[in-house]
Amino acid sequence: MELGIGMFGDLPINAKGEVLPAQQRLQEIIEEIKLMDELGLDFFGIGEHHRPDYAVSAPEIVLAAAATVTKKIKLGSAVSVLSSSDPVKLYQSFSTVDLISNGRAELMAGRGSFIESFPLFGYDLKDYDALFEEKLELLVQINKENKISWKGKFRPQLQEQEILPRAVNDHLNIWVAVGGTPESVIRAARLGLPVMFAIIGGSPEYFKPLFAYYKEAYEQFGHDMNNFQVGVHMHSFFGESSNEIADYYYPLYAAQMNRIGKSRGWPPYQRNQFDQGRTKSGALIIGDANEAIDKILQMQELFGLTRFSAHMDVGGPSHKEMMKSIEIFGERIAPKVREVLRKK
């Protein structure tokens, strides 16, 4: 099982409502990725957002910068909002990162957590599902064929067009991020794409049927099970003391949940929700190294994971605390999880 970290580039916001400059946060992110690579973590993913509380609107640019200061870690998006992007340009951007990084780039396609990119790039929300369906099909075709002839509804026709540059070995690793709908799962299985499930609330146990459904469909569509990959993305944060890190992180996490929830009609986020999420049956992995090891292994046992992604910057914790959390993950959690899995 690969172990890595995902981020959205949350911008810290202080008690006065002042937002950390994006310039500073972007430089911190590069330093954090460099540490992940030095610690031997397997992958890093950064999300795409177009809001004032996030620093990253173009993951591929951040990943290109990270490629120059890292050696081994895989570098991907988490996610790229495919519905409001041009698959041709998106492939070109990530194939370029792949060449710069000597084959370490990945593209994770998704619908995104928010809808700001739709009006920004001139798309209609009524086409939400159709846009993603069509563009994912085109992206997969581009990845398989050097010259493309294609006709769809939302993009100009392509006639024997060569899409350049090509990724290393003429193949770019493409994942699909899903929130938990059967339709998303069956689409990914049909295309033979690995899936990252976002489990950020409720009980992970509820997702087990979807994992089984995806695996069964993947096999039924005739794909080689040796290539089967599935992962989870879960809100995570690590410290020396379980209670101390929870007390530090709760106000930041709750503030971000409330900022998002205000536009979605969510009730105010409460400490009891946070504490429940941190229990064995919850979806948060926030605590000390031993708690994290146990819960990550629990997720692997529950779902048969090939990848675990710790989403670590929700609410904008400080750079100092981020570096400490990454250090604990890389030095204490990841080695122990790998050791236990090797013995199985």
190 phi, psi to nearest 5 deg: -60, -40
pTM: 0.97
Residue reference for tokens 């460099």: 34
| β partners of residue 158 | 150
Helix (H, G, I), strand (E, B) or coil at 137: helix
Return all residues near 45 (Cβ < 8 A) that are at least 6 apart: 4, 5, 6, 7, 76, 77, 78, 79, 106, 108, 309
- Whether the CB-CB separation of 7 and 313 falls below 8 Å is answered with yes
- Structure tokens, 252: 């930041």
Q: Determine the length of the chain.
A: 344
d(CA 278, CA 236): 10
> What's the whole-number mean pLDDT along residues 309-333?
98
Q: Where would I find the beta strands (DSSP E) of 89-157?
A: 105-110, 147-150
> What's the whole-number mean pLDDT along residues 35-57?
97
Residue reference for tokens 């990084």: 101
Between vectors from CA 102 to CA 144 and to CA 111, what angle results, nearest 5°? 50
Give the start-to-end residue ranges of the domains of the chain.
Answer: 2-342
Question: Would you say domain 2-342 falls under CATH 3.20.20.30?
Answer: yes
- Whether the CB-CB separation of 4 and 309 falls below 8 Å is answered with yes
pLDDT tens by residue, 155-181? 999 999 999 999 999 999 999 999 878
d(CA 109, CA 175): 6
pLDDT tens by residue, 222-271? 999 999 999 999 999 999 999 999 999 999 999 999 999 988 999 999 99
Q: Is the pLDDT of residue 30 over 90?
A: yes
